[in-house]
Amino acid sequence: MPSRKELANAIRVLSMDAVQKAKSGHPGAPMGMADIAEVLWRDYLKHNPNNPDWYDRDRFVLSNGHGSMLIYSLLHLAGYDLSIDDLKNFRQLHSKTPGHPEYGYAPGIETTTGPLGQGITNAVGMAIAEKALAAQFNRGEYNIVDHHTYAFLGDGCLMEGISHEACSLAGTLGLGKLIAFWDDNGISIDGHVEGWFTDDTVKRFESYGWHVIGGVDGHDSDAIKAAIEAARAETERPTLICCKTVIGYGSPNKSGSHDCHGAPLGDEEIAAAREFLGWKHPAFEIPEDVYAKWDATSRGQQAQSHWLIKFTQYQLEYPELAAEFERRMKNELPADWKEKSDAYIASLQANPANPATRKASQNALNAFGPLLPEFMGGSADLAGSNLTLWDGSKGLTADDASGNYVFYGVREFGMSAIMNGIALHKGFIPYGATFLMFMEYARNAVRMAALMKQPSIFVYTHDSIGLGEDGPTHQPVEQIASMRMTPNLINWRPCDQVESAVAWQQAIERKDGPTSLIFSRQNLEQQVRTDEQVAAIKRGGYVLSCDGSPEIILIATGSEVQLAVDAADVLRGKGKSVRVVSMPSTDAFDAQSAEYQESVLPRSVTRRVAIEAGISDFWYKYVGLNGAIVGMTTFGESAPAGELFKLFGFTVDNVVEKAEALF
């Protein structure tokens, strides 16, 4: 009968063998955390390898994602569809075991980790989702939402500022089912961390309002087990278990140093480690009795079966709630969503108004919010400016998690990565807002949403130099262009209340990636459209007005669409035939068929002017090298918006001049 140490050693040998075969990777963390992982996964983790997406499973996040062979070894040993050949294929092209855990590649990977600190932040989002769903759906004895979120993290995660943002909020919200394990091994890539990381982590997390269990021997199974028991008994606060470990445990000559952090151990050292560990089996060979003790399929199926019995009873007692829970966990929209959202958009076109698009966004939330109990909104301390609160918004608190709105505080990066965690958990459509300029703080979380194909909705207001007096520190210039270059991120910059509502509709309906909604501070005039033009908005670009055979095309987005319309009127007065194209989403437009794109931007019309209060260079893809662009080439200035638009050439006269120069 294999001992706990032998079971943990299976993780160690698989990890060092796979890294050695790949000639690349990080063996130290898996070897150091193997004992912790063995106790957690074998004694506590509620999961079913035969159904990795079971709704009420515990979530496990490896925030220190460079130690990816730890989770791959765990998944393989526990019985997931991850074979020994998959482990042998570690870090190879198209493998299920890439260098860092990637969501969607292997079953049981809950999130993509690699950029340090984002994994623990995703875990905070998952714990928020669990707590909110439990408050919304659990009734009496029927705790159909009742699971933990576990996260492993290292010194690097704690050094990254995002961990402060997320863990501070986790304490405030009282996320009692979040349990994090700190791998306190004192080593990072450059060596012993005492030269650059001397924080009192225990006091830090205690100040956040966490339950902290310090001084746990990370190689003592009994001590680990006692710590987990204490953590699970604490239901009002998240818990940090501080585990003192030896990085690369089992390597006689490299353990405890950065030599085993990010490089293979080498054949000689692996042989020495096998001798030290008493492991007598060759590379990638695990004895059957070890597999048998690790296999979690039977107890996982039993746990899910117990839950299904409870859920079946819940369905009989609360049929409507049960149906709603299943709908939301499947990421399905309500049956009447399309009809009602289309009707709202049509009503806007029939009743013109000229609000700022940030206000139009709030109006859309008030229209769509009652249809979508799965909304989970928020703002990074800018709700009054972003206008993300709608009439049905209710804030989450530690004592009452039944709401649908998170007051994130000044935590743009944390907010965005938490939203990704909420989306990954499922059951909610998360949206969160800040000024467009401050997406810079959150950029990597936005990228991770796109990479993981998660439907987070990022709301950005104050979209250009049009925000005025706050000046260049707050005026976004290059942000939209860089976001448009991010694969799988769809960006919308609407010109009026109708396009704003369509943008929201499209973001809500999207299931395969994130959307950014970019709104103005200033009021914008509603455009005249036919029903066909309204229907075409969702295509990202469409003909707003056109003379029979256009000689020139003006392309604009957002607040500059009205400028294009006014300039077109002047050009027509001078005998020119003009087409105006509103392009609220270049990403959506680029996804259309070649035939549709040609119908909007015919190649035969080579005279083109693009108009947007952002960096000019992006627009050459639509106007060509011989076209004209009215855009920004510098940062902004501090002045009233009207003066800034004149200063930087966003005037009818300048657009007309640029257009006439093409003839």
* H/E run at residue 268: helix 267-277
386 assigned ligand-binding residue: no
593 assigned ligand-binding residue: no
281 assigned ligand-binding residue: no
559 assigned ligand-binding residue: no
155 assigned ligand-binding residue: yes
Q: What is the per-residue DSSP string for 617-628? A: GGGHHHH-TTSE
25 assigned ligand-binding residue: no
C-alpha 561/C-alpha 661 separation (Å) is: 20
363 assigned ligand-binding residue: no
The catalytically annotated residue of 130, 160, 412, 560 is: 412
409 assigned ligand-binding residue: no
C-alpha 209/C-alpha 187 separation (Å) is: 27
36 assigned ligand-binding residue: no
472 assigned ligand-binding residue: no
192 assigned ligand-binding residue: no
Task: Indicate if 412 belongs to the active site.
Answer: yes
- Tokens 């982590």 sit on residue: 201
66 assigned ligand-binding residue: yes
C-alpha 92/C-alpha 244 separation (Å) is: 32
What is the side-by-side order of every strand in the sheet holding 429-435? 405-407, 375-379, 429-435, 457-461, 515-518, 490-492
User: Which amino acid is residue 269, in one-letter code?
Assistant: E
213 assigned ligand-binding residue: no
62 assigned ligand-binding residue: no
569 assigned ligand-binding residue: no
Write out the two tokens for 229: 């028991």
Buried-state track 26-46, b at ≥16 Cβ within 10 A, e below 16: bbbbbbbbbbbbbbbbbebbb
Task: Tally DSSP H helices, then E strands, for the chain.
Answer: 27, 18
Helix, strand, coil share of the chain (percent; to 5): 45, 15, 40
- State how beta strands 239-244 and 375-379 pair: unpaired
Query: What distances in angstroms separate CA 495 from CA 206, 397, 507, 558, one per listed residue?
Result: 48, 36, 16, 4
Strand partners, 183: 154, 243
Residues 6+ apart with CB under 8 A from 320: none
* Annotated binding-site positions: 26, 66, 114-116, 155-156, 185, 187, 261, 358, 385, 438, 462, 470, 474, 521
* Annotated binding-site positions for thiamine diphosphate: 66, 114-116, 156, 185, 261, 438
* Annotated binding-site positions for Mg(2+): 155, 185, 187
User: Which residues are known to be catalytic?
Assistant: 412
* Annotated binding-site positions for substrate: 26, 261, 358, 385, 462, 470, 474, 521
